Homo-oligomer: A and B are copies of this chain.
Amino acid sequence: MNSSASAVAWCERLGSAAASAPASGIAEVMRHGFGRNGIIPLWVGEGDEPTPAFICETAAESMARGETFYMPQPGIQQLRDGLAAYHDRLYGGLFGEPFPADRFYVTGSGMQAIQIAIRLVADPGDEVIVPTPAWPNFPAAVGVAGAKACQVPLRFDPAGWRLDLDDIAAAIGPRTKALFINSPSNPTGWTATEADLAAIVELCRRRDLWIIADEVYSRFTYGSDRPTTPSLHDHIVPDDRVLFVNTFSKNWAMTGWRVGWIEAPEAIGPAIENLIQYATSGVAVFMQRAAARALSEGESALSSLIDRARIGRDIVSTALAAIPGVSFAPPGGFYLFFRVDGVSNSTEFAATLIKEADVGLAPGSAFGAGGEGFFRLCFARNPDDLSEACARFANWMSRRA
């Protein structure tokens, strides 16, 4: 048996959910760039600044104090209190009261927050609606749970992507349990307006759906004086079924830490604790101490990251707007998601771009329905690298034309 036949034989021995879990389309393209000197990698959703030193030092001090034992499953009290206080500062309380610490559950990454949120609301065979283009890990995690992700494409217009509530309503079936709302969206940058959010909440109340709310990029606001983009926090009442999934990754340059949180109605806390117990059984105390310090003293570090992203956003918006055949809506979060006229295979296009111009983009096809022909570029990076990448891309496009 040759080794590829052997791999097939082994995979036939796996469960179908495991065998059918898709590889990330982003990772597939990244392989083309692996080990290339001089490539400018704009494909991953991650800045290029390491975690601020004061956060790292907090973790090191905690370890040195011997905080290396098992921990409470929902998270240490200091961090749950810190999350409540942080949300109070951003949203001025919830339901007319300060946020209770019991709404917050610390998870081993935003990804795990999503895994647990899906498991909370969807049994095998159930459905979850996902507006697309979307971060591929969300629908993939739905599939791994044995449920089905129903993709509903956003409408593209250079004036802005648009979520059509009628499209969502039409996708609701008898087994639909939840709607995933990611605003600002990775990859499109679509950002829900207050009116969008009010309509989404109303629809989900009427059709008896959970909302899994991913507002991970909400602090990265452009052209507004408010500390966040519009949030479901300002639209819900105590009976609304909303699970917020979030992460320390983007706000405090902690992508490599794998620490996130779920915010949920306190009444389902025991179910969340159990799912944490049977997933990874908690997050290291020393990481939680560091995360708590990021919340309480990280606001100026976050401001610097936002300023840097704003500069990056301006650079790439200006540069790409000048390239014939390129179109895009106003970018949000960390991303500019642009279309190149005439491209029908974005994976192949991205692979060629790597080889010929040393610029790394994520292919739109990786983001599901409505993504083909588009490319995602992360602008939360060094401005010089962004300028150089755009120049290389413009030059390559002009030679290609």
A positions within 8 Å CB-CB of B: 3, 6-7, 9-11, 13-19, 21-24, 27, 44, 46, 50-51, 53, 56, 59-60, 63-64, 66-71, 73, 108-109, 111-112, 115, 119-126, 137, 140-141, 144, 146, 177, 210, 241, 253-258, 265, 267-268, 270-271, 273-275, 277-287
Select which of B3, B50, B70, B71 is within 8 A of A69 by beta carbon.
Answer: B50
Contact A285 B256 (CB under 8 A): yes
Given A46-B70, A124-B146, A281–B10 Cβ distance below 8 Å? no
Query: Contacts of A67 on B, CB cut-off 8 Å?
Result: 50, 256
Contact A120 B256 (CB under 8 A): no
Contact B17 A140 (CB under 8 A): no
In the complex, the count of this chain's copies comes to 2
Contact B281 A258 (CB under 8 A): yes
Residue ID in chain B nearest A241 by CB atoms: B13
* New contact pairs (4) apart from A67-B256, A108-B258, A115-B278, CB-CB < 8 Å: A13-B241, A51-B63, A51-B68, A146-B146
Contact A15 B121 (CB under 8 A): yes
How many angstroms from the CA of A278 to the CA of B145 in the assembled complex?
A: 10
Contact B111 A271 (CB under 8 A): no
Which of A73, A279, A283 has most chain B Cβ within 10 Å? A279
Contact B60 A63 (CB under 8 A): yes
Nearest 5 interchain pairs by C-beta: A50-B66, A60-B60, A10-B267, A124-B124, A51-B68
Contact A277 B64 (CB under 8 A): no
Least CB distance from A294 to B in Å reads 12
Query: Contacts of A287 on B, CB cut-off 8 Å?
Result: 284
Given A68-B256, A119-B144, A11–B278 Cβ distance below 8 Å? no
Contact A256 B70 (CB under 8 A): yes
